[in-house]
Structure 1
Amino acid sequence: MFQNKVKIFIVTSLWLTILCIVLGLKTGNSSIGVANAIDGFKTGTAAFNSSGRELKTAVSLLSARDSSTLINARLALKRSRTDYKRIEFFMDYFFESSSLIYNRPAKTEVDEPYMEYQEPSGFQVMEAMLFGEDPFAQQAALLEQADLISSSAADLNALLYGFEGTDQEVLESVRLALIKVITLSITGYDAPELKSGIEESWQSVAAIRQVLQPYLKSGIAAGQQSSPTNSRPGIQPETLSKTIAETLAYLKAHPDFDSFNRMEFLTGYALPLQEQLGGFIAALNLDVNHKSALNYQAKNIFSPDAIPPGAFGGAAAKNDLKAALGKRLFRETALSGNLQRSCASCHREQQYFSDGLKTSLAFDGKNFVQRNAPTLLYAGFQYAQFWDGRVKNLQEQIRTVIANPLEMNGNHAVVITGLQQDSAYRKEFLKAFPDSAGNPVSMTNLSDALAAFIRGLAPRNSAFDQYIAGNKTAIDAEQVKGFNLFMGKAQCGSCHFAPLFNGLIPPLYKRTEYEILGTPANDDFDRPQHDQDQGRFGFFPIEYYKAAFKTPTVRNAAMTAPYMHNGVFKDLEKVVEFYNQGGGAGLHMEQPQQTLSAKPLHLSDDEMHQIVVFMRSLTDKIDQ
């Protein structure tokens, strides 16, 4: 089946190539830099085609009798990946489905809501095999992947037939490429074994520079002033060019992955570059957002307004009246079946909206619910709610919790009837929902109000946030080291993605990630016991979701112990140790679908401590 798919792709690509030759390439628009971007893509595909052939040759020469052949294959993989990074921004933006061939994660993914399996393919699959236990035994599978890469790379220019991209789209593609560098490449997200993320980041930024050349010239000719719709000052082309050059120089001078100072890179180079690029695009009046959930008017990706809460099934604009009503409802015991429990029973403000228990006390006051009550801080910034992601927004989660016999055991109709009899509530609902004059007190409005309150639980005022915004005394040197480890060697940032450090996948921030970690039922790593919770499998009973759980934020993690879906770990030190050992599979538990690498991270005690103190720097100041 897989080989047939490859043949179909190759035949289709060849057919398109013939059409290109016969009919000629057309872009269909007059522009500043589209033709330049296409030329850069063609140059990049030529280099990628060449290194793809070299990769196939290197894999074909693998021999267990000669260890140098393995080294050569790994180096060939690195070269091919590096060449691909010069065209990745263009592939990801304009030819997304084709790009999945080359750099898909080395695990079977499920394309929701269609529930189609996406087979692993490309570089990441090859990396996993080349750094696996017996790479020589994987030669046939490696050759299949190498053949797929080299064969399809030879016909990439066929994708350009009928291409009609615009300047706005080209500039959005490089904008997203820079965000990918900031949030993924420097973490080793797609090359954890090769550790080539810094060199690949250089290639990505170099591609950005090449694409921007005609726009920089256009900016000089236009005098480069602020646009009427842009509140940021106009960015001089010379300033932007200088910052790009300095960013490239820094990456070139510090290629080692483990020792790379990510904090210095971000605060001194990448984030200023993102700010200047955004201002430059806006000043040219070429802003467009066709792809992402981001607010491009934000200063940079770490700005509090970079990811708007309205992207997650909520209101587009903040509504103080709804949030105020939601805050009152949050403490309202009339939402429960016994008039004694409220949302605040399990999400206590003084405990950072968690409850300090392994799993929360059930409605009967004697038993416990299945899973740990996570903090509600930043809970609104996810595309799925509950640990297993079984509902898509806060409103649905609220209605589910109220009705759940183990949680609040409230009858929706009874709850609404009770609130309707309260004149103060009727007035507050009417103020918050003036368009519902006929029936303001409803379960829909109640869940909207509570959701508005929860979406507002995103202070973004931690010591880390202050530091990244320019206060260089907000965190100390040890916490900076911890951040660099978190985003690098420890690979935490490749699942807990910046800036929210949860499972929202950059650079588009349109999907929530689930991971299988092999979390045990106990915290004895010498005698770990299997946890029986099947996670997302209970909602979607497919093999790849067994024991899969949503990736929560680690913001405020220092204040919300215990940890994991079952509350098994009492402190952050134990959590970091668990990851350091390679999760459940690293503890020699049978976890065939584990998405976390089973390889130990080899973090020292000092390094693990530094990661913990960094996470403490993510603690917000909240109103008590």
Structure 2
Amino acid sequence: MFQNKYIWLIWPLFTVVAVFTSWGFKQTTDNDIAVAHTITVFREGAAGFAAASRELETAIREMDATSPHSLHHVEDALKNCRLQYKRIEWFLDYFFFSAAMVYNRPAKTEIDEPYMEYQPPSGLQQMAVLLYSQDPYTQKKALLEQAEVISSSAADLPALLYQFTPTDKAIMESLRIELIRLYANGITGYDAPELKSGIVETAQSMRSIQSVLTPWLEQHLPIADTVSIYLKQCIQYLELHPDFDTFNRLEFLTSYALPLQENLGNLIRSLHLEQHTRGALNYEAKHLFSRNALNTAVFPDSLEQTDSLLALGQRLFSEKALSGNYTRSCATCHQPDKYFSDGLRNSVAFDGVHHVRRNAPSLYYTGLQYAQFWDGRAGSLRKQIQAVIQNPEEMNGVVTTIVTRLKEQPTYKEAFHRAFPSDSAISIQQVATAITAYVNSLSPMNSALDEYIAGNKNALTPAQIRGFNLFMGKAQCATCHFAPLFNGLTPPLYQFTEFENLGVPNNDNLEQLQPDKKDAGRFEFFPIDFYKGAFKTPTVRNAAMTAPYMHNGAFRDLEKVMAFYNAGGGNGLGLNDPFQTLSATKLNLSDGEIKDIIAFINALSDRPAPTYNY
């Protein structure tokens, strides 16, 4: 039996088994041709994972500080256990998510909002962190506890299948989600950056996808044959280039992986197996880097963007009548010619003398988020806009006064009527809605990178290509700034916005850092210790145009930002922040590699935003 101290880790698995056992859950039709085959693939993978987890537990028990070889044995056993888990991850994560979290939960404390509860890090990712700590032998007890939980619960995985049968549609959806996981997380090393095993694991996952698709691929339909070809090419490329640091991710994505995603979508449509049950992915998009890859309708500020509404929103964005003294507008701190930032460390406050405490970030792609402001305290852009307008330090507007001013201008009365034909009575809600529509339009995805992925192989320089591969790999940038928006929207479902504590100081002199003690970040909104110093992860798109950086504008240029990350953030530089979520391990990037990454960030600069006629 499991010891009581482990029960919180495995309870999700017990819960899932109990629920499906008691319901006798079945969902199948006579037309489902791949169900039995899929379950066989899972059973075989689960058996392999259970055996590997037992071997891992044994290796940890044999850890001995006097035998360095024993540590290498544990490392090899952990890599193999992860490799075996990748055979079944797609299945568990889709059909039994709670069970999957027992094995591969992120190696940081997870906050369950709004209940103020949290789960400590556990599973294979946490074991990698413990194994690569400063003195792994002192972590033997913690490693063994994790290994015992994994091996014990892995042995019971077949119980999940009791009276459970997926449908072909569900299987296909699980596979298309798995591809996103591999492209945005697998090849970036998100799961275990310490192990640098992401490429080998991605190949393993691809082989599982290939196996599951066998009943359809064997029918030799033209589109199925195309999928089969791209699958084989993906696997072959991954197997021929297993080294994590030198893997050419851009070539892999553009030549093999993204075409595979496009053609798998075509296969699913041709078989009439479309199903969309979760996440923000748009299955009508060609691939992950398409401009319409995410379904805008799932975000809090989804709006029908009519020309009249966009024109009104753009006009109101620069309207100083929204401020208390006719001197400020949204465009004061978010200037279009500066990529909707203002170039200041902290924006000038309403009184024209003092400064607000946080940097004004670019507004590009902010509509594709689930939380607004650096601390995420606003659940929508409309709420954020109204808050800024009325904030005494920012625009100091009075709602009744603003509405009166707008009503007194005949051109506004006409513009509001065109934008809101069913309700042309001017209100602050309509003001916020119009501005939101305009801000939502600032998601162009027309940078040099986008042009390259679309087929223009001259769009990127060799340095920018090297920088992309570093960003998505060795430098670990993409483990927080996730593709395709390179922000904190977490793949593969893009349902959450991440908050991270980087240990950001109050200055950019890395030899004499000053802690930022004035801003507790999300903790001020959600008073739980793990949110101290945590801020929303912004997009890196257009970052080259929007210095200075970080929530407090502490870093004057990208060179300082990269030096900070390269050193392991605040803790890597000696600040000792107990709640830093960024690994303090140095990245060991060379000066040339840093220059290449900065070159790539420049390749993420979009063409200027469009203008709309009033």
Please indicate the TM-score interval, normalised by the length of the shorter structure. Answer: over 0.9
Kept in 1, the 8 Å contact 2:9–2:102? The answer is no
Alpha-carbon distance in structure 1 between the residues aligned to 2:511 and 2:57: 43
Shift of 1:168: 1.2
Kept in 2, the 8 Å contact 1:13–1:156? The answer is no
Task: Report the secondary structure of 1:436's partner residue.
Answer: coil
Change (3 A) 1:13 1:311: closer
What is residue 47 of structure 1 aligned with on the other side? 48
Choose which of 520, 536, 540 in structure 2 pairs with 1:550. 536
Shift of 1:427: 1.6
Task: Report the secondary structure of 1:239's partner residue.
Answer: helix
Change (3 A) 1:479 1:28: closer
Choose which of 412, 425, 433 in structure 2 pairs with 1:448. 433
Kept in 2, the 8 Å contact 1:82–1:200? The answer is yes
- Give me the TM-score of the superposition, normalised by structure 2: 0.96
What is residue 111 of structure 1 aligned with on the other side? 112
Choose which of 449, 453, 458 in structure 2 pairs with 1:464. 449
| Deviations 1:146-177 (CA, angstroms, capped at 9, x unpaired) | 01100000011111123242211110100010
Shift of 1:308: 3.1
Shift of 1:555: 0.6
Alpha-carbon distance in structure 2 between the residues aligned to 1:522 and 1:204: 43
Change (3 A) 1:324 1:62: same
Give, as a single letter, the amino acid of the residue that structure 1 aligns with 2:460: I
Task: Report the secondary structure of 2:111's partner residue.
Answer: strand
What is residue 567 of structure 1 aligned with on the other side? 553
Shift of 1:567: 0.6
Choose which of 369, 389, 395 in structure 2 pairs with 1:402. 389
Shift of 1:417: 2.1
Shift of 1:623: 4.4
Choose which of 524, 549, 563 in structure 2 pairs with 1:577. 563
Kept in 2, the 8 Å contact 1:13–1:155? The answer is no
Alpha-carbon distance in structure 2 between the residues aligned to 1:9 and 1:151: 14
- Give me the TM-score of the superposition, normalised by structure 1: 0.94
Alpha-carbon distance in structure 2 between the residues aligned to 1:418 and 1:2: 64
What is residue 310 of structure 2 aligned with on the other side? 323
Alpha-carbon distance in structure 1 between the residues aligned to 2:356 and 2:43: 57
Kept in 1, the 8 Å contact 2:250–2:468? The answer is yes
Kept in 1, the 8 Å contact 2:116–2:528? The answer is no
Choose which of 473, 476, 493 in structure 1 pairs with 2:478. 493
Query: Quick one: percent identity of the two aligned structures?
Result: 53
What is residue 528 of structure 1 aligned with on the other side? 513
Q: How does 1:95-494 map to 2 (within 5 A)?
A: 95-218=96-219, 220=220, 236-315=223-302, 317-437=304-424, 439=425, 441-494=426-479
Shift of 1:435: 2.1
Alpha-carbon distance in structure 2 between the residues aligned to 1:87 and 1:316: 38
Alpha-carbon distance in structure 1 between the residues aligned to 2:406 and 2:422: 18
Change (3 A) 1:427 1:164: farther
Task: Report the secondary structure of 1:126's partner residue.
Answer: helix
Shift of 1:313: 1.2
Kept in 2, the 8 Å contact 1:310–1:317? The answer is no
What is residue 503 of structure 2 aligned with on the other side? 518
Task: Report the secondary structure of 1:236's partner residue.
Answer: helix
Task: Report the secondary structure of 2:593's partner residue.
Answer: helix
| Deviations 1:535-554 (CA, angstroms, capped at 9, x unpaired) | 11111111000000000011
Shift of 1:217: 3.6
What is residue 3 of structure 1 aligned with on the other side? 6
| Deviations 1:498-533 (CA, angstroms, capped at 9, x unpaired) | 011000001101100011000110111111010021
Choose which of 582, 585, 596 in structure 2 pairs with 1:610. 596
Give, as a single letter, the amino acid of the residue that structure 2 aligns with 1:376: L
Change (3 A) 1:484 1:592: same
Give, as a single letter, the amino acid of the residue that structure 2 aligns with 1:435: S
Aligned residue pair count: 605
Kept in 2, the 8 Å contact 1:309–1:455? The answer is no
Alpha-carbon distance in structure 1 between the residues aligned to 2:303 and 2:265: 22
Q: How does 1:72-91 map to 2 (within 5 A)?
A: 72-91=73-92
Change (3 A) 1:418 1:24: closer
Kept in 1, the 8 Å contact 2:108–2:121? The answer is yes
Task: Report the secondary structure of 2:431's partner residue.
Answer: helix
Alpha-carbon distance in structure 1 between the residues aligned to 2:213 and 2:396: 58
Task: Report the secondary structure of 1:117's partner residue.
Answer: strand
Shift of 1:208: 0.8
What is residue 39 of structure 2 aligned with on the other side? 38
Kept in 2, the 8 Å contact 1:16–1:158? The answer is no
Give, as a single letter, the amino acid of the residue that structure 2 aligns with 1:349: P
Kept in 2, the 8 Å contact 1:28–1:163? The answer is no
Alpha-carbon distance in structure 1 between the residues aligned to 2:394 and 2:401: 16
Give, as a single letter, the amino acid of the residue that structure 2 aligns with 1:493: A
Alpha-carbon distance in structure 2 between the residues aligned to 1:543 and 1:61: 36
Shift of 1:337: 0.5
Alpha-carbon distance in structure 1 between the residues aligned to 2:473 and 2:555: 23
Shift of 1:239: 1.2
Kept in 2, the 8 Å contact 1:129–1:135? The answer is yes
Alpha-carbon distance in structure 2 between the residues aligned to 1:372 and 1:563: 8
Shift of 1:323: 1.3
Alpha-carbon distance in structure 1 between the residues aligned to 2:15 and 2:496: 30
What is residue 232 of structure 1 aligned with on the other side? none
Change (3 A) 1:7 1:612: closer
Quick check: 1:587 aligned with 2:567? no
Shift of 1:105: 1.1
Change (3 A) 1:101 1:461: same
Alpha-carbon distance in structure 1 between the residues aligned to 2:276 and 2:112: 23
Q: Where do 4+ consecutive residues of structure 1 move more than 6 Å?
A: 9-17
Give, as a single letter, the amino acid of the residue that structure 2 aligns with 1:330: F
Alpha-carbon distance in structure 1 between the residues aligned to 2:571 and 2:513: 11
Kept in 2, the 8 Å contact 1:521–1:528? The answer is yes
| Deviations 1:4-32 (CA, angstroms, capped at 9, x unpaired) | 33575687789899x79xx9996643312
What is residue 489 of structure 2 aligned with on the other side? 504
What is residue 231 of structure 1 aligned with on the other side? none
| Deviations 1:57-108 (CA, angstroms, capped at 9, x unpaired) | 0111111111111111111111000000010001110001111111111111
| Deviations 1:466-494 (CA, angstroms, capped at 9, x unpaired) | 01111000011111000000000000011
Kept in 2, the 8 Å contact 1:62–1:70? The answer is yes
Kept in 2, the 8 Å contact 1:26–1:161? The answer is no
Give, as a single letter, the amino acid of the residue that structure 2 aligns with 1:496: H
Alpha-carbon distance in structure 2 between the residues aligned to 1:464 and 1:15: 48
Task: Report the secondary structure of 1:110's partner residue.
Answer: strand
Kept in 2, the 8 Å contact 1:9–1:152? The answer is no
| RMSD of Structure 2 on Structure 1 (CA) | 1.8
Shift of 1:139: 1.1
Kept in 1, the 8 Å contact 2:388–2:394? The answer is yes
- Give ranges in structure 1 of 5+ residues lacking alignment: 225-234
Shift of 1:402: 0.3
